[in-house]
Every structure is written in structure tokens, then in C-alpha cells.
Amino acid sequence: MAQHLKSSSSKSAFLNILKHKLGFVSPSHGARHLRQNLPHGPPSIGVSQNPISRLCNTMAEKLSGIGFHEDVNNQVMDFPGGRIAFTPEIQFISESNKERVPCYRVLDDNGQLITNSQFVQVSEEVAVKIYSDMVTLQIMDNIFYEAQRQGRLSFYATTIGEEAINIASAAALTPEDVIFPQYREPGVLLWRGFTLQEFANQCFGNKSDNGKGRQMPVHYGSNKLNYFTVSATIATQLPNAVGAAYSLKMDRKDACAVTFFGDGGSSEGDFHGALNFAAVMEAPVLFICRNNGWAISTPTSDQFRSDGVVVKGRAYGIRSIRVDGNDALAMYSALCEAREMAIREQRPILIEALTYRVGHHSTSDDSTRYRSADEIEWWSKARNPLSRFRTWIESNGWWRDEAESDLRCRIKKEMLEALRVAEKSEKPNLKEMFSDVYDVPPSNLREQELLVRQTIKSHPQDYPSDVPL
């Protein structure tokens, strides 16, 4: 609205709306109200001196001074966020674009560089570590999965097929960046220095576990490595990441918060609240969605009708990109750029990584009941993130078959030893279930401990003998 409310028609319309908001629905109602309440009788010089009219006129003038404008042709309106054009036509925003948002990639399915591809240069040392850690993650998953099937672990969830998102993302970050994971990002911890023994200790819940046996397997955490402990509930980590990012911003830290979630997590209210919170507060946080096609047994076609998750960023005013999550070089490049923008410009970034969960959702799931074995086989071979990246580093002369054999043999040996040590280690004392949270345990917590001990005493045969009391 380019001019102030000078036209009589626009001012009259505004006054009528304002009077209605004040409760004066009709002129007769307003007249009766004035006659009943004015001490000196009704006004004698016309409605323009009516106290309500004067009030409305005053408010209209005030509003006109703070941007409540319109031009003479009623074509545009100033509004928070920018000027909005008027149209005399009934026009609905289309539910989808004719073309889907493209997906950024650098390496093709055969591991060859795409012509004219833009990517962040990576050194031989970093590239070899990315590949080595992806192989390590794959071997760790296979061994832990078999251990669960043997009854030695209660639960496990693999990252098979999603190794590039784990490792390449971690490679683009710094140790000062704070990670808020879901339960499929152990590769970030691996990159940061979490040892195979620490992974094994957590899965077996022994006395050397950082969480003292309180968490399910694969629910890792490390204060030292800026990796918040995994929570099984979906998407709760997203608002937490935004809060941490805003704290980093207030402290002027050269770091950002990074949070991971699956496509199913975008259906949770926490996802929408977190994105809006981050956009409005301009928090330096990276939202990384692993869109692997399946939220346990729910396909994305049943999850949302939009063009994936990337388009939801624009709705909240967040810069977004779609990336080939099975292309480690593309993931690394996109994360490097996103991190720099988030910190330099103090803004959130949404990254949708298209990938595929080759393994079952967890050891509690049989994915062949809701998807075909042929589909799984095709993704594991045609879009394998490890083989693609290996082809590229081999083409650079950075990797050989001998190095591959030595790496796999060494990691398998280290993993089996870590498993053996963790399995034989003593379990945490029962009292550890009730410690650490409060300096002085409250009465309800003391009561719970007493009830547990009474139950054990009454039914000792049902309590594991290897857990000290």
C-alpha cells in the first residue's frame, strides 16, 4: 500500500472493520451505546465527533505511519516478509511443480565423475579415511547383526546402504559442531574417534558403557565427542538441535548444530516446530534428512504427497538442497557448503539425502514382508555407496586391492576382539539405574529402587545373575 489511507473508501472500509472489532456491529447499536453512556446526552454536531469515530480515526492515522498502506490502484500490500501483489482472479497455488527438485550428485552409478560437476576438492588423506570408515561401519554392522541373531545382543539396527551419509557428512564437519543424531548415525561417532571397543561396550551395556547400561543397543552418546545421546522417540532431537544452535549463535561460536532424521520423522510435529523455530530465530543448524524410502514398513508414498522433504524447507523459509545420499563426494561437498553458509550467514539449512535402507529397519523387522528382494538387491549393487567411492579413489591412484584386503582383515579381527571383551565385561551395578540425574535422589526415585530390590528378593530366579546388586 504505497500511499497512506487517504481515499475515503479505503479509510471508511478500515473504520468499519475496526468498529466491528471493537464490538460495534451496527450503527444503531453504537448509537444506543453512546446515548446510554455519555453524561451530557447525545452529540449534537454529527457522527464525525463521535468518540468511537475519533478513536478509529486516530488509530487509522497511527497505523498509516507504520506501513499500513495501499496504492491508488490497490495492486500491492506491504506485509511482514515483503510486498504482496493483489489479483482479481481466483488463483490457487499448485499442489506440486511440474518438475521435481533435481538431485545433486558428482559421481555416477559407476563411480565416474560427471562432466562439469561442481564439488569441493578432497585430499587423498581425507578421501581414504572416508572410504576406510565406510568399510569399517559395514563390517561392524555385519558382526553386530550376527551377534544379535545368535542371542548375544538384545537389539541392533544397521546402516547398510547409508554409509555415505554417515561418514561423508562427518568428514565435512568439525569437532566443535554439535551432533543430534537419530539411531542410524554411528558413522559420525566413528569418524570422530569413537572406538570399536566403545561401540561394543554400549551394545552389551557393560560397566564401561558411557550410558552405564541404561540405553538400548545402538543408542550411543559421547560428551567428549559432542554427540548427544540417541533417543528412540522419533524427531525429538530436532527442536533440541535448534536450541543448541541458537546457543552457539548467542555465544558467537564458529560452529553449528547438526541433526539427522529419517523421512518418517518429517511427519512428526517436532519436525515442523523445529524448522519454523530455526527459520524465525535464524539458528545455524543443519537438518539432514535420510530419505531412504521407508519409515519401517511405511513407504514415502504413504508418508507424504509432496516432492519429498526438500520442498518443505521453502515453506518455512529455509534454504534447502536435495543430494544423492549414496554419493559420498556429493554429500561431502554439499555439507561443506551448507556448514559454511549456516555459520557465515547465521541461517538453517535443510538437506534431503536420497538413499536406500538395504538392511532391515532393525533386528525386530523383516523387510521382505513389505518390499521385494529384487528391490533390495538392485539398490545394494547398482547404487552401492562403497563401490562408487572406491572406484573414484582407485582412479586417483589412492587405493589398491591389497589395501582393501588388509583393511577388511584388520577391522574384522579388531571387531571380533572388541566383541569378546565387551561380552565378558562385568555389568553395571543395579544402583547405576538410579544415579547421576539428581544430586540427592527424590523420594519417588528412592521408592522405585526399593520396589525393584524387593521384587528381586522375592523372585531371584528372574533376575540376571551377572548384574551386581
Q: Tell me the pLDDT tens digit for each residue of 315-361.
A: 999 999 999 999 999 999 999 999 999 999 999 999 999 999 999 99
pTM: 0.83
> Is residue 167 domain-resident?
yes
Give yes or no: residues 351 and 271 share one domain.
yes
Residue 24 located in a structural domain: no
Does residue 255 sit within a domain? Answer: yes
Residue 284 domain-assigned? yes
Long-range pairs of 312-318 with CB within 8 A, sequence gap ≥ 24: 312/266, 312/275, 312/350, 313/275, 313/287, 313/350, 316/272, 316/275, 316/276, 316/278, 316/279, 317/279, 318/275, 318/278, 318/279, 318/287, 318/347, 318/348, 318/349, 318/350
Say yes or no: 250 and 374 in one domain.
Answer: yes
Closest C-alpha to 287, from 249, 326, 339: 339
pLDDT of residue 65: 44
Report which of 98, 140, 221, 15 is spatially closest to residue 417, judged by C-alpha positions: 140
Q: What is the pLDDT of residue 75?
A: 84
Same domain, yes or no, for 241 and 349?
A: yes
Considering the domain architecture, whether residues 140 and 173 belong to the same structural domain is answered as yes
Same domain, yes or no, for 252 and 391? yes
Which H or E run contains 416? helix 401-424
pLDDT of 12 reads 52
Task: Point out the catalytic residue in the list 83, 370, 400, 453.
Answer: 370
Q: What is the pLDDT of residue 80?
A: 85
Q: Out of 361, 383, 388, 390, which one is annotated catalytic?
A: 361
Domains held by the chain: number: 3
Judgement on whether residues 225 and 288 belong to the same structural domain of the protein: yes
231 and 336 share one domain: yes
pLDDT of 55 reads 53
Query: Buried b vs exposed e over 386-415: b needs ≥16 C-beta within 10 Å?
Result: bbbbbbbbbeeebbeeeeeeebeeebeebb
CATH code assigned at 316: 3.40.50.970
Gyration radius of the chain over CA positions: 30
Looking at residue 39, its pLDDT comes to 42
Q: Is residue 105 part of a domain?
A: no
Domain shared by 340 and 276, yes or no: yes
Answer yes or no: is 46 within a domain. Answer: yes
7 domain residue, yes or no: no
Residue 369 a catalytic site member: no
Domain annotation covers residue 2 = no
Beta pairing class for 178-180 and 257-262 = parallel
Q: Are residues 436 and 291 in the same domain?
A: no
Please, are residues 460 and 437 in contact by the beta-carbon 8 Å criterion? no
**Catalytic-residue membership of 361:** yes
| Annotated catalytic residue 370 | yes
Same domain for 50 and 150, yes or no, is no
Strand pairing partners for 351? 288, 321
Catalytic residue among 357, 360, 383, 388: 357
Give the chain's residues under pLDDT 70.
Answer: 1-74
The answer to whether residues 408 and 457 belong to one domain is: no
Residues 257 and 225 both lie in one domain: yes
pLDDT at 3: 41
Q: Which domain holds residue 448?
A: 431-462
pLDDT tens sequence across 254-300? 999 999 999 999 999 999 999 999 999 999 999 999 999 999 999 99
